[in-house]
């Protein structure tokens, strides 16, 4: 029926029903493709089950409402109905945080040498190539320098769609360089995490990135340059167990999954179901692990306020509210 | 030593650098495969080591018998060098999964076994001052050849009750916080720090998450980098990811010959990447987790030899070998001014694991 309306004799603009039906078919296809990928040995980086279409409509995985994609984008990719914070890519993140979406990208030319020559069901090299093609990035990170409410700042944003945002030698080096740049220029740094943790295919090389980044953070700390860690959905494993938990302030988006071990591993270890809301941002806040849970819309003003506290003379002469 | 092996050695000896350990190894391999047929690789590996042991004994014997004849001594010395290389090769070629099993061997010496044998005046300190005491990590003051030192290490156990008490060597956040507290005491009073790593990983439990496992590990990584005392770490058994690294940011990181150090367990990797936990041997190989792998990747500063067949065979000998290594490394670090020490620790980790290229 919908096919008829769309293909053939369209004598009217497609209505809501047509679009809904189309959306439904695409969703079906999406499921099929996901299944196919899984069978052909693709890494499932989507984490939790989330049905999103590439069309004009998006279905919220929390409230199940169908949302006009434009509405969602205008709302910073937060569901207007239920406030579910959808994952966003690194570029979108930068555009939301930095003034006028203007910034310089640096360290974008680094790429992995596949130190272990790792091959499982598929060669790591080909996983890398595929991720590079799909994202247009060399690895799971963008380093940027721009302005946040007029203040020069460095932002390192992780790209979850690049092999689950996992951290290997490139991500480790890029983040370290961003921290070093902040230390040298005394510009504050914000690191936005979105990562499943260390990149298994780089083995112990990825583990050593934790030490490397933490070392750079010790120097940043000594230089008293502000570092705000923003934890987004999801932030787990070696990323949480290093830089993501070492901010002067550690803040997270609502509902973000944050933890050391993944929920499945914990379930298998303790052999019981995990409580509702376990490892969500609100849970961590309650347990004293976060300074704040900040909705996406307030993220930029929150960071600006914090940097004011950390950077401006304490006599109040330059208070923006004066 | 068989005639073929001897001939191989003589041949290799004559041909200098071109044919070295690889050739010898292939000869030894041929030798025991002829003798043992399709014996398992583990079996043949052990046999090769026994064979090597015999050869080494013979060399020692020859050395003492050689007397003052300079030429003979020189020749024996060269022979010895080659056998040493061969020994390292054989050890390196023990399959990574076999090494994993050795690293987890229930009779392998644990931290307290080493403490007992290498240190004196052990005096344990407990608690993180915030939540509790974690028996999976032990901390304490001790003396190392007369000098006051601080010890921090994972602790595993052998019988069921003790295993549960030690949580199989898997620390909770309070364990890492206790460790940091001990490290800071050591730094305050300028005593060197020795850490012993042997853990499957930080405990993935409910309470651990509630109390901030990730934060506890992260803080240790940052603080160890700037701890103003010499730090020596030994990976004695399992170096399980972040849970190991959290007490292993050191001036010298040594690995026992059969220890492993990995970002994930071979089983965990196999079930994720191969979707089949039984592919653990493939995963172990692919992950490059053995001491020789880590050495090649530039992630450790030295490998400590173990007695024949593995540390579990002889705790005394293992401790003696480790003691010698610790003395040597501590001796090198001891006189280094703090500033220099911290700078080289920083640079070591800053420049470690740099596997990327920059396109222009
Ligand atoms: Zn919704």
Q: Which residue has the tokens 């409580």?
A: A275
Q: A110-141 pLDDT, tens per residue?
A: 999 999 999 988 999 999 999 999 999 999 99
- b vs e for B32-56, b when ≥16 Cβ sit within 10 Å of the residue's Cβ? beeeeeeeeeeebbbbbbebbeebb
Q: For residue A177, give every residue at least 6 positions away whose Cβ sits within 8 Å of its Cβ, in sequence order, or none.
A: A106, A107, A143
Q: Contact, B213 vs B203, CB < 8 A? A: yes
Would you place residue B39 in the very low, low, confident or very high pLDDT band (cuts 50, 70, 90)? very low
Measured between CB atoms, does B296 come within 8 Å of chain A?
Answer: no
Structure tokens given for B169? 């060597």
Cα distances (Å, whole numbers) of residue A315 to A188, A310, A312, A319, A322: 20, 13, 9, 9, 12
Quote the pLDDT of residue A90.
Answer: 97
Most confident of A117-121, B10-14, B25-29, B185-189: B185-189
Quote the pLDDT of residue A15.
Answer: 54
For CA atoms B69, B73, B75, B76, the dihedral sign is: positive
Would you place residue B73 in the very low, low, confident or very high pLDDT band (cuts 50, 70, 90)? confident
Structure tokens given for A129? 């190539």
- A205 contacts B223? CB cut-off 8 A: no
CA of B332 to the centre of ligand 1 (A): 62
Mean predicted confidence (pLDDT) in B94-111 = 93
Would you place residue A210 in the very low, low, confident or very high pLDDT band (cuts 50, 70, 90)? very high
Residue bearing the bigger pLDDT, B48 or A26: B48
Quote the pLDDT of residue A316.
Answer: 55
Q: Inform me whether the pLDDT recorded for B58 exceeds 80.
A: no
Does the domain spanning B102-350 belong to CATH 3.90.226.10?
Answer: yes
User: What are A85's strand-pairing partners?
Assistant: A78
- The DSSP output letter for A52 is -
ipTM of the prediction: 0.82
Mean predicted confidence (pLDDT) in A226-254 = 98
Q: Of A43-52, A296-305, B54-63, where does mean pLDDT reach its minimum?
A: A43-52
Q: Which of A176, A219, A241 sits opposite B217 (nearest CB)?
A: A241
Quote the pLDDT of residue B94.
Answer: 72
d(CA B63, CA B56): 10
- A259 contacts B217? CB cut-off 8 A: no
Would you place residue A3 in the very low, low, confident or very high pLDDT band (cuts 50, 70, 90)? very low
Helices then strands (H, E): number in chain A? 10, 10
Residue bearing the bigger pLDDT, A14 or A204: A204
Mean predicted confidence (pLDDT) in B255-270 = 96
CB atoms within 10 A of CB B359: 9
Structural domain boundaries of chain B? 3-93, 102-350
Quote the pLDDT of residue A37.
Answer: 37
Mean predicted confidence (pLDDT) in B96-107 = 94
CA of A232 to the centre of ligand 1 (A): 17
Structure tokens given for B214? 């990730």
Measured between CB atoms, does B273 come within 8 Å of chain A?
Answer: yes
Structural domain boundaries of chain A? 2-74, 90-311
Q: Of A39-43, B21-25, B249-253, B342-346, where does mean pLDDT reach its minimum?
A: A39-43
CB contacts of A110 in chain B (<8 Å) are 356-358
3-state secondary structure at position A229: strand
Q: Inform me whether the pLDDT recorded for A313 exceeds 70.
A: yes
Q: For residue B236, give every residue at least 6 positions away whose Cβ sits within 8 Å of its Cβ, in sequence order, or none.
A: B108, B109, B110, B111, B114, B153, B196, B197, B198, B256, B259, B311, B322
Q: Contact, A215 vs A261, CB < 8 A? A: no
Contacts A–B by Cβ distance under 8 A: 193
Mean predicted confidence (pLDDT) in A164-185 = 98
Q: Inform me whether the pLDDT recorded for B46 exceeds 80.
A: no
- The DSSP output letter for A37 is H
Pairing of strands A141-148, B193-199: unpaired
- A241 contacts B206? CB cut-off 8 A: no
Structure tokens given for B314? 């002889």
Q: Which of A168, A241, A275 sits opposite B214 (nearest CB)?
A: A241
Structure tokens given for B358? 């920059």
Q: B188-216 pLDDT, tens per residue?
A: 999 999 999 999 999 999 999 999 999 99
Which residues 277-316 of A have a C-beta within 8 angstroms of B?
278-279, 287-289
Mean pLDDT, all residues of chain A: 86
CB contacts of B275 in chain A (<8 Å) are 121
Q: Inform me whether the pLDDT recorded for A181 exceeds 60.
A: yes
- The DSSP output letter for A210 is H
B299: closest CA among B343, B243, B239? B239
d(CA A92, CA B285): 39
Residue bearing the bigger pLDDT, B18 or B284: B284
Q: Inform me whether the pLDDT recorded for B49 exceeds 80.
A: no
d(CA B346, CA B358): 23
Percent of all residues in chain B with a pLDDT value above 70, rounded to a whole number: 84
Would you place residue B95 in the very low, low, confident or very high pLDDT band (cuts 50, 70, 90)? confident
Q: Inform me whether the pLDDT recorded for A254 exceeds 60.
A: yes
User: What are A192's strand-pairing partners?
Assistant: A157, A230
Residue bearing the bigger pLDDT, B233 or B46: B233
What's the 3-state SS for chain B?
Answer: CCHHHHHHHHHHHHCCCCCCHHHHHHHHHHHHHHHHCCCCHHHHHHHHHHHHHHHHHHHHHHHHHHCCCHHHHHHHHHHHHHHHHHHHHHHHHCCHHHHHHHHCCCCCCCHHHHHHHHCEEEEEECCCCCCCCCCCEEEEEEEECCEEEEEEEECCCCCHHHHHHCHHHCCCHHHHHHHHHHHHHHHHCCCCEEEEEEECCCCCCHHHHHCCHHHHHHHHHHHHHCCCCCEEEEEEEEEEHHHHHCCCCCCEEEEECCCEEECCCHHHHHHHHHCCHHHHHHHHHHHCCEHHHHHHCCCCCEEECCCCCCHHHCHHHHHHHHHHHHHHHHHHHHCCCHHHHHHHHHHHHHCCCCCEEECC
d(CA B76, CA B59): 7
Q: Inform me whether the pLDDT recorded for A96 exceeds 60.
A: yes
Measured between CB atoms, does B346 come within 8 Å of chain A?
Answer: yes
Mean pLDDT, all residues of chain B: 87
d(CA A113, CA A147): 33
DSSP characters over A75-86: TTTB-TTT--B-
Q: Which of A116, A201, A218 sits opposite B222 (nearest CB)?
A: A218
Quote the pLDDT of residue B11.
Answer: 43
Percent of all residues in chain A with a pLDDT value above 70, rounded to a whole number: 80
Q: Which residue has the tokens 């020189």?
A: B74
DSSP characters over A6-30: HHS---S---HHHHHHHHHHHHHHH
Q: Inform me whether the pLDDT recorded for A213 exceeds 80.
A: yes
Residue of A120, A122, A204, A236 to mutate for B, most B C-beta atoms under 10 A: A204
Percent of all residues in chain A with a pLDDT value above 90, rounded to a whole number: 74
- B346 contacts A215? CB cut-off 8 A: yes
Pairing of strands A151-158, A189-195: parallel
Q: A167-176 pLDDT, tens per residue?
A: 999 999 999 9
Q: Of A10-14, A94-98, A190-194, B86-90, where does mean pLDDT reach its minimum?
A: A10-14
d(CA B354, CA B352): 6
Cα distances (Å, whole numbers) of residue B210 to A260, A282, B191, B261: 10, 12, 33, 27
CA of A264 to the centre of ligand 1 (A): 25
Q: A6-57 pLDDT, tens per residue?
A: 433 444 555 556 545 555 544 444 444 444 334 333 333 444 434 455 578 8
Q: For residue A174, give every residue at least 6 positions away whose Cβ sits within 8 Å of its Cβ, in sequence order, or none.
A: A107, A110, A139, A141, A143, A156
Quote the pLDDT of residue B132.
Answer: 97
* B14: Cα separation from own chain's centroid: 34
Structure tokens given for B216? 């506890």
Quote the pLDDT of residue B69.
Answer: 75
Quote the pLDDT of residue B10.
Answer: 42
Q: Which of A110, A207, A278 sits opposite B356 (nearest CB)?
A: A110
A90-311: CATH topology: 2-enoyl-CoA Hydratase; Chain A, domain 1 (3.90.226)
Q: Omega before B97 cis (within 30°)?
A: no
Quote the pLDDT of residue B80.
Answer: 78
Quote the pLDDT of residue B174.
Answer: 98
Cα distances (Å, whole numbers) of residue B196 to B32, B207, B236, B256: 36, 25, 6, 11
């Amino acid at each position: 029926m919908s096919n008829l309306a769309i293909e053939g004799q369209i004598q009217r603009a497609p209505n809501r029903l047509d679009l809904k039906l189309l959306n439904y078919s695409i969703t079906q296809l999406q499921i099929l493709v996901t299944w196919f990928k899984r069978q052909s040995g693709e890494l499932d980086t989507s984490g939790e089950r989330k049905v999103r279409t590439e069309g004009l409509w998006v279905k919220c995985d929390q409230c199940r409402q169908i949302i006009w994609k434009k509405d969602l984008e205008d709302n910073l990719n937060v569901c207007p109905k239920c406030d579910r914070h959808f994952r966003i890519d690194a570029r979108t993140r930068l555009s939301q945080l930095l003034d006028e979406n203007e910034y310089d990208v640096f360290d974008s030319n680094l790429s992995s040498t596949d130190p272990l020559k790792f091959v499982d069901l598929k060669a790591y090299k080909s996983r890398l190539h595929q991720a590079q093609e799909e994202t247009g990035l060399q690895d799971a990170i963008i380093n940027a320098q721009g302005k946040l409410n007029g203040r020069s700042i460095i932002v390192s944003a992780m790209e979850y769609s690049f092999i689950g945002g996992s951290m290997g030698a490139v991500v480790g080096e890029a983040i370290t360089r961003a921290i070093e740049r902040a230390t040298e220029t005394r510009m504050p740094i914000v690191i936005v995490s979105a990562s499943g943790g260390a990149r298994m295919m780089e083995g112990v090389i990825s583990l050593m990135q934790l030490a490397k980044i933490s070392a750079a953070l010790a120097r940043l700390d000594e230089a008293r340059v502000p570092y705000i860690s923003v934890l987004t959905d999801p932030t787990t494993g070696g990323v949480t167990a290093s830089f993501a938990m070492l901010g002067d302030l550690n803040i997270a988006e609502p509902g973000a999954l944050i933890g050391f071990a993944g929920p499945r591993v914990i379930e298998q270890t303790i052999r019981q179901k995990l409580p509702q809301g376990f490892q969500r941002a609100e849970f961590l806040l309650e347990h004293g692990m976060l300074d704040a849970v900040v909705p996406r819309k307030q993220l930029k003003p929150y960071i600006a306020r914090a940097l004011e506290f950390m950077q401006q003379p304490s006599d109040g002469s330059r208070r923006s509210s004066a | 030593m068989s005639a073929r092996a001897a001939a191989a050695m003589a041949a290799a000896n004559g041909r200098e650098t071109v044919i070295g350990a690889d050739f010898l190894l292939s000869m030894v391999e041929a030798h025991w495969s002829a003798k043992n047929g399709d014996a398992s690789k583990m079996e043949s590996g052990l046999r090769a080591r026994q064979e090597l042991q015999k050869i080494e004994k013979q060399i020692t014997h020859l050395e003492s018998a050689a007397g003052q004849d300079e030429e003979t001594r020189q020749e024996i010395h060269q022979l010895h060098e080659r056998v040493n290389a061969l020994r390292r090769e054989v050890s390196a070629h023990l399959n990574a999964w076999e090494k994993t099993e050795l690293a987890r061997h229930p009779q392998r010496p644990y931290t307290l076994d080493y403490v007992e044998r290498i240190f004196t005046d052990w005096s344990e300190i407990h608690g993180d001052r915030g939540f509790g005491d974690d028996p999976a990590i032990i901390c304490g003051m001790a003396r190392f050849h007369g000098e006051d030192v601080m010890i921090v290490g994972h602790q595993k156990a052998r019988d069921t009750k003790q295993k549960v008490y030690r949580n199989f060597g898997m620390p909770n956040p309070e364990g890492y916080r206790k460790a940091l507290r001990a490290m800071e005491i050591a730094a305050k009073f300028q005593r060197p720090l020795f850490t012993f790593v042997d853990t499957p990983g930080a405990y993935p439990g409910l309470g651990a998450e509630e109390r901030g496992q990730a934060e506890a590990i992260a803080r240790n990584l940052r603080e160890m980098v700037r701890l103003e005392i010499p730090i020596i770490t030994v990976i004695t058994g399992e170096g399980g990811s972040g849970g190991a690294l959290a007490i292993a940011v050191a001036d010298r990181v040594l690995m026992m010959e059969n220890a492993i150090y990995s970002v994930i367990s071979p089983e965990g990797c196999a079930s994720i990447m191969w979707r089949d936990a039984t592919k653990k041997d493939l995963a172990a190989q692919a992950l490059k987790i053995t001491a020789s792998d880590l050495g090649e990747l530039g992630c450790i500063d030295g490998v400590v030899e173990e007695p024949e067949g593995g540390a579990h065979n002889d705790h005394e000998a293992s401790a003696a070998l480790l003691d010698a290594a610790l003395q040597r490394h501590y001796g090198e670090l001891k006189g280094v001014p703090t500033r220099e020490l911290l700078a080289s620790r920083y640079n070591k980790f800053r420049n470690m694991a740099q596997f990327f290229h920059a396109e222009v």
